[in-house]
């Protein structure tokens, strides 16, 4: 059994919810899992309890609320009563309170007017903050696929989350990276409170990974470091995050990811890369 390392969170978005990956994660020192009310066709919590109710007490478990079942497809809502009901059901389905509950992609339900958006976000945050105070979850946060609208809404009136999760890595885009950093700064989050997610953009076999050599962003890479591994490790610095939620059903893939944590950043090439992204975005605005 490897020593615990909190920098990897096993993300269960695309998971088959098999017991094997949960036990392998624990063996590899990964004791954080991230799921959501809407994953696995809205049955992720029940599926987890079915395959691993005895394992769940050993994990730090985060989940998300914001998407609800609707005819034909899921619908998004920040209605405080619906968020609360989802949290109560989450506790029933898991058989325990989650350690952390994220508001899931709140940007999806924020109206155009910034004062109304601020009220909507503030009330949703207050609902999960209250739920945490009442013991329905250990803490709360915001998980945002597109954080660009959020920083301008954060003033002294919006409750401060315990954690924020944002896209990380080479596919995240400079606007998203900068918005994530501004958001973390507005709330004065420490590095462990900012999490990254989806370091491969959902697939480690996309054609881009064959064209770009991410080992460029690693200090002293050796022969043993594959491009997939370097892609993963690089995501910790784009933006700077304390942990990353990454998906896999494969114990050997998870072991490969754990192996990358000993590598450090090539700060020079990361700085250049960010400058190039910023210059390209500025040119597109002209
Ligand atoms: N808005 C949100 O809140 C949001 C949105 C997206 C994601 N997330 C979080 O982020 C987590 C991860 O996101 P994601 O699943 O979309 O994308 P991801 O982690 O970028 O990609 C997952 C894919 O990478 C592959 N992979 C992982 N390690 C590998 C390795 N060593 N070698 C080869 N392939 C590897 C996996 O395939 P194998 O199974 O074959 O290993 C899987 O198909 C989610 O589970 C969720 O927790 C949150």
The CATH number of the domain covering residues in 8-285: 3.20.20.100
Pairing mode, strands 74-76 and 67-69? antiparallel
Q: What is the pLDDT of residue 212?
A: 83
Q: What is the pLDDT of residue 72?
A: 86
- pLDDT bin (cut points 50, 70, 90) of residue 44 is very high
Instruction: Answer yes or no: is pLDDT of 63 > 80.
Output: yes
Q: What is the pLDDT of residues 248-266, one digit of tens each?
A: 999 999 999 999 999 999 9
Report the mean per-residue pLDDT for the chain.
96
**Does residue 246's CB lie within 6 angstroms of at least one atom of ligand 1?**
yes
> Average pLDDT of 44-53?
97
* Residue to mutate (ligand 1; options 8, 9, 12, 13; most atoms within 8 A of CB): 13
Cβ of residue 230 lying under 6 Å from some atom of ligand 1: no
CB of 63 closer than 6 A to ligand 1? Answer: no
Nearest CA residue ID for atom 3, ligand 1: 143
CB 168 within 8 A of CB 217: no
DSSP string, 105-154: -GGGG--SSHHHHHHHHHHHHHHHHHHHHTTSSSEEEEEES--TTSGGG-
- Percentage of the chain beyond pLDDT 90 is 92
pLDDT at 272: 97
pTM: 0.97
- Cβ of 104 closer than 6 Å to ligand 1, yes or no, is yes
Question: How far, in Å, from the CA of 110 to the mean position of ligand 1?
Answer: 27
pLDDT surpasses 80 at 209 = no
Instruction: Determine the distance from the C-alpha atom of residue 138 to the mean position of all C-alpha atoms in its chain, rounded to a whole number.
Output: 17
In the chain, domain spans: 8-285
Is residue 242 scored above 80 in pLDDT? yes
Nearest atom of ligand 1 to the alpha carbon of 205: 34
| pLDDT value of residue 156 | 87
């Amino acid at each position: 059994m490897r020593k615990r390392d909190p920098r990897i969170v096993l993300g269960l978005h695309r998971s088959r919810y098999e017991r094997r990956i949960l036990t392998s994660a624990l063996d590899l020192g990964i004791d954080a899992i991230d799921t959501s009310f809407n994953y696995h066709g809205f049955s992720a919590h029940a599926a987890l309890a079915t395959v691993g109710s005895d394992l769940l007490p050993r994990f730090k478990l985060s989940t998300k609320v914001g998407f609800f079942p609707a005819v034909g497809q899921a619908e998004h809502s920040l209605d405080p009563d619906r968020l609360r009901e989802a949290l109560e059901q989450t506790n029933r389905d898991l058989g325990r309170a989650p350690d952390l509950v994220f508001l899931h992609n709140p940007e999806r339900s924020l109206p155009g007017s910034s004062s109304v958006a601020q009220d909507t976000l503030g009330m949703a945050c207050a609902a999960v903050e209250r739920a945490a105070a009442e013991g329905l979850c250990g803490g709360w946060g915001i998980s945002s696929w597109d954080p660009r609208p959020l920083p301008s809404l954060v003033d002294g009136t919006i409750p401060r989350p315990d954690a924020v999760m944002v896209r990380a890595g080479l596919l995240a885009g400079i606007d998203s990276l900068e918005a994530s950093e501004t958001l973390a700064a507005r709330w004065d989050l420490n590095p462990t409170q900012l999490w990254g997610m989806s370091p491969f953009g959902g697939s480690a076999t996309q054609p881009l990974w064959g064209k770009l050599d991410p080992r460029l962003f690693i200090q002293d890479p050796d022969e043993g470091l594959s491009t997939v591994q370097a892609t993963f490790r690089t995501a910790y610095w784009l933006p700077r995050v304390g942990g990353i939620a990454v998906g896999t059903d494969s114990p050997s893939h998870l072991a490969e990811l754990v192996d990358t944590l000993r590598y450090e950043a090539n700060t020079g090439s990361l700085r250049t890369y960010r400058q190039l992204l910023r210059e390209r975005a500025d040119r597109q605005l002209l």
